[in-house]
Amino acid sequence: MKILHHVRVSSLFLGNKCDLESLREVEFAEAEAMCEYIPEILFVLEASAKENTNIDDAFMCLATELKVGNYC
């Protein structure tokens, strides 16, 4: 992201395999705190492809931001 300093880049911080809670290495609050240090991160989500958790939401968050923002 820092290399493209002349281009506005939005990011989604996505933690995968949220269905494996016992193997968690990063707490959700820690991930959210990253937004304070990296302003390009717009959303923090946890996802599970196995359980189809937040898969569509991840896409919709970025697609909506692209549509609403000025990224042309």
**pLDDT tens-digit readout, 12-27:** 777 778 788 888 888 8
pLDDT at res. 5: 56
Helix segments in 1-72, DSSP class H: 28-37, 55-68
Residue extents of the structural domains in the chain: 11-68
Residue 54's Cβ-count burial label (10 Å; 0-12, 13-18, 19+) is buried
* Confidence label for 59 from pLDDT (cuts 50, 70 and 90): confident
Residues 6+ apart with CB under 8 A from 41: 11, 12, 13, 34, 35
Q: What percent of the chain has pLDDT over 90?
A: 0
Contact 46, 28 (CB under 8 A): yes
